[in-house]
Amino acid sequence: MSGRLENKVAVITGGNSGIGLATAQLFAEQGAKVAITGRRSDVVNRATTAIGHGAIGIVGDVAKLTDLEKTFSTVHEKFGKIDVLIVNAAIYALAPLASFTEEMFDRLTDINFKGAFFTVQKALPYLRDGASIVLTSSVVAEKGVPNHSIYSATKAAVRSLARSLSAELLDRKIRVNVLTPGPVDTPVFESIAPTPEAVEATKAAMSQFAPVKRIASAGELAEAALFLASDASAFMLGSELLIDGGIKSL
């Protein structure tokens, strides 16, 4: 039986771990020709092996426009026109307002906002008319959470981009939608907690934010990304798919 993305070409930025990797694995299982990107060659290589199905990995930084140009020209040379673009690459950095540095500000906005915008721009010549673009936001884009000010702002900017870019790309029937997760079990916890015990404590604390009293698996977000990438969501554009365990609603 054919998969829901049979013979579709899918590019997933930040596809080397977490939500991106789970999405790449699911897309490959669903018949897509998958290309992932990431900043570290060892991590990208391991992820590509884990995905299998002829997936390719490209090392690059979404904050660098030359890397983005290389990514899309490489994908086009290998697979042809792109049907699905998952704009997932992001970093997570927290600090109080009083101690947030300019370097932290620039790195967050360069990757999470500038990187998202120029990922779409640089992909345009290689996207098939009727393609689906999915931007990854976060539930904190619309909630006030201490120490999250800049991270939250970048994710709110991504949500706004989906509306504007959808309007701009109507003539090519390219849909731009947003996947908005709540807390998800990914390696990001290891970047903000110093020990394995602290990682588990942070996950437990995060789970209390959601009415369902748990954090999501990366696979649950991958299933949502598959819906947005496939023809099943053909009537959605400029919209948001909220997978947050009830944080915004209850």
**In the block, residue with structure tokens 């990187």:** 115
- The secondary structure of 13-62, three-state, reads CCCCCHHHHHHHHHHHHCCCEEEEEECCHHHHHHHHHHHCCCCEEEECCC
Is residue 92 among the annotated active site residues?
Answer: no
From 151, 154, 224, 245, active-site residue: 151
Burial class (CB in 10 A: 0-12, 13-18, 19+), 77: exposed
DSSP codes of every residue in 123-160: HGGGEEEEEEEEEE--GGGGS--TT-HHHHHHHHHHHH
Core vs surface per residue 32-46: b (16+ CB within 10 A) or e: bbbbbbbbeeebbeb
In 3D space, the residue among 104, 77, 76 whose CA is nearest the CA of residue 91 turns out to be: 104
Active site residues: 151
